[in-house]
Amino acid sequence: MEQLDLDDSQRRAIKTAAGATATVITGASGTGKTTVLLEAASHIIEGGQSLVLLAAGRKAADDLRSKLTLRHGRLPHNVSVRTAQAWAFGILQEYAADRGRQTPELITGPGQDAIITELLAEIGDQIPWPEAITPDVIALPGFRAELRDLLTRAAELGLSGADLVQLGTDRSEENWIAVGHLMDHYENALALEDATAPGGAGADRFDHARLVHQAARLLATPDAWSQGAMPTWDWVLVDDYQNATLATASLLSSVHDIIPGDGRGARLVMTADPDTAVEGFRGGIAHLPGLARGSKPGLGVNAGLVTLEKRHRAGAKLAALQDSLIARIGVAGTGEHRKPEAADGEDAFSITTFPGGDQQLSGIARMIRREHVRGNLRYDDIAIITRSRGAHTEIERVLREAGVRVRPAARNQPLRYSRVVRALMDIIREAGGGELADADLLGLLSSPVIGLEPSHRRTLVQHVNAAFGESETPVRDALVEPPKDDWAHPLRKLSHILDKVRVAIASGLDAEAVLWEAWEAVGLAEDWRERALSGGPTSRSSGAMLDSVMQMFRVAQRMVDRDARTTAAQLIDELEGQDIAEDSIARTGRESGVHLLTPAMAIGQDFELVIVADLNDGAWPNLRIRDGLFGAGRLAELHLDRLTDGISGLRSVLDDELRMLAFSIGRARKELVFTAVDSEDTSHSRFIDLIATEADIEHIESSQLSMSIPGVIGRLRSAISDPTLRVRDSDRELAADILASLPTWSPSDRIGVAPETWIPTLEPSNPEPWEASTRISPSSVENILKCTLKWFMEAAGLKNVEDVRALSRGTFVHELAEKHPDGDLQAMMESVEAMWDDYAADLADGYEREFEREILLFQVETLSNYLREHPKGIVERTVRVETDSFTVAGRIDRIEETPDGPVIVDFKTGKPKSKTLVQENPQLKVYQWLYEKETGQATAGAKLVHVSEADKSGLPKTREQDPLTDEGRAQVDEMLIEVKNELGGVDLGARENDACRYCSAKVVCPLYEEGALFS
């Protein structure tokens, strides 16, 4: 066996631990705590003793297991490497086997949420809630999240419902009293006492918090086991003990107190760095290593202390940086390990700020590409750490568009929000007799499992209405026996899938089998797998959809394992009832690429390059007191007697923020980069000011081009064809040679490599000029002038979900304005109720649907106020004027007669624009021009009525435009000539404007790096 080169303090730590019953080994980041633990574990394995090695997370456990296996060839049966939760679950499994009970079941987060929801519905009115907690508050998902947090923390502390009621009474905490009563009902619902009592017959059910405590209780009660059945261990080794919970401390205390055959309990070795604890929000206690040195029941094991004295990671720069931050953190039980000797490696540290969030992400992508391309640094050796994972999805998108391989960001939504899962649920619901509405069936046709393109949906609907127009449900009728025309292919595909699933359900198959039949009938598994592995433009979405389907199968499997009679309908009910993401204690697969992490997710890992991003004031540090509605953090501090040690709540929060940053610094083996935004609205973190001067910060004032393959290709092509760049002939020839050689040194399936995929090389689909009958609306005139490319792409169906929702809302409000020109509020509300189900068909139940309804009702009421206050006018007047190139036509929402003449009214459901912008608004000017051309009568002006915002009197905010002058009419003529020129050729112009940041066509825009292929 290979011997590691240990320093003196490491050898001393191993020797001390070998001769003690309990030892805490402390050391700063990079001092080799994990190395010492692995070396101690190797000695124990060689001695033939039993061992449990506990890691703070699943990935850390996997890495420790791999290292031990590599060193010893294989691990003996009496050696296991796990997380505390997995170890506790194993203990409960052994107990169940000993008592002849079913295998224990772990309650997932959604399962726990469903139990709490059911309890609140059944006995919520019996709980003595404080006056502020009304039924409306109880119904909120955020309320249940806060409630779960307190229940979890109480369980980790080993508190019963009665204990919590007593603490609430002593401390005048009404919320604790209420939750204590609910906790008793929750415990009864889980039937923990009955499930774990000798002679019980049912399966034990545990949530994560109670899992570890229950294992500790069982080890503390040997009489609950058969003779010789209770498991014992010679050694328990724990890495990163500063991130452990009180439940884990209780489990260690129990196993340490067991008296096996040799007359003593398991011997403990715990490594820790209290200054880098990052699991406080999950119940982790930075003080546990210090408390382990005492004798307090459930916490203390009279452990000795050994300190590691030399770093073996990075160099002097990062060591000094981390030490300077740690010096500002209050000592959590022990501080002897601070300021160890620095390692002698080369390291680097830099701080870069950007003028905006987009520029920051583009800058990070450029850094990574530079290190990968020029520095030969593997993507796996790079990590981006943010304080929370809310930004990970956007970071992942930007990195992928820049050609950076990145590991998928963690999903943080219930499964039903996945489009493919929602589609499979609707298929099973329809096949089971649920009879979806036509709007839902159309949504199913447009889902990923059928793939009806938005541009083809209108054509399909027209054909269906023509063939089945007399039916109230034409889409449903079309699915019964779909036509054999080409346009009906999506209908035939969906009909085939539904037939297969109907047969499976009628055959009495369980939920998992029915789901499998549905997935097999969809037939997309292999196609999506190939796309996910290709690295192409659809790889991310294909991989995400496959992950969602796999997770759906896990839910079905879990339900069938629990009850073999579980039906497909019950599976759908389970998924519909989930308001939080699925979780598990099982190991998960890995994917190569840049790591997107939070400090807690980075436990047990280190990287060549670490980028700490979004280091902005208000984001990191976030000094908001952690306690929410129920004071879960305060409860933990009270239980540990920490409220009286002179540390205020804000001080504890600040320490936690510093610990997370200090820990993140310690993840870097060679290079560390801080990035932040410095703008009028955002400033860099005060933590940066603690460690650097203004001279140390690099301020990037403008965006830089990335080093992605699409970006390089776009620049090379620009060098060849763009005369404004004034590229020398020799450089143009060199660029052409590089482009010609691309297929020989880059994968042909990589986006942009194959010349035949370059948009400018493709022949126009229709080179003919626009016909005079082509209809252009006033809004299209405005959008074409703003950006022809975006107008064209959106006309072809490229819209994001938010744009579609806003458009639907606008259509809804305009329809009400047309039906009720007098503004009768009661009649308008009756129309809302009649139209609501169809309008909200694609909205998820719960918050999304209620939020949209609240917005809509406000706008309807505001619209009613306006209509009742203003003179009745002409409604939805169609106006049209033919030009030699196209026809300008539109429908005016309302024309109001005033003493000065007709006023054009346009209702808007978006945010109001400034009065200056509205005076020059092209759409309103074209409407005025159209009205004058068609009627021969001059207008008295126009106005935008924004029903999304109201003044104090309840009337919507309005923005007015003056009547057209001769100059204004000439401007409209010029605008139409410009539109004619824009649409006269085969090219589409792209213009930079204030909407570019959120533009759905950015991916094909030559003004931006991600659209460079299309320049």
Residues annotated as binding site for ATP?
27-34
Residue with tokens 């382990």: 292
Q: Which amino acid is at 300?
A: G
Length of the chain: 1015
Residues 336, 338, 342, 346, Cα dihedral to 10°: 150
Using alpha carbons, list the distances in angstroms from residue 977 to 119, 785, 918, 927, 983.
67, 11, 22, 16, 10
Place of tokens 């060098």: 719
- For the chain, the C-alpha Rg in angstroms (whole number) is 33
Give dist(CA 698, CA 458) in Å, integer. 52
Report the DSSP beta bridge partners of residue 80.
52
The backbone region for 26, taken as left when phi is positive above 0, alpha when psi lies in -120 to 50, beta otherwise, is beta
Buried b (16+ CB within 10 A) or exposed e, 879-910: beeeeebbebbbebbbbbeeeeebbbbbbbbe
The closest alpha carbon to 939, from 903, 910, 989, belongs to 903
Residue ranges with strand state E in 290-333: 304-307
End-to-end CA distance of the chain: 59
Helix (H, G, I), strand (E, B) or coil at 99: coil
Q: CA-CA distance, 288 to 297, in Å (whole number)?
A: 13
CA distance 907 to 918: 13
Q: Please give the Cα distance from 478 to 482 (Å, whole number).
A: 5
Instruction: Write out the binding residues.
Output: 27-34
- Whether the ω angle into residue 621 lies within 30 degrees of 0, i.e. cis, is yes
Instruction: Give dist(CA 427, CA 199) in Å, integer.
Output: 44
- Torsion over CA: 763, 768, 769, 773 (sign): negative
Cα 657 from chain centroid? Answer: 22
Give the separation between CA 304 and CA 23, rounded to whole angstroms: 5
Q: Which is it for strands 205-206 and 105-106: parallel, antiparallel or unpaired?
A: parallel
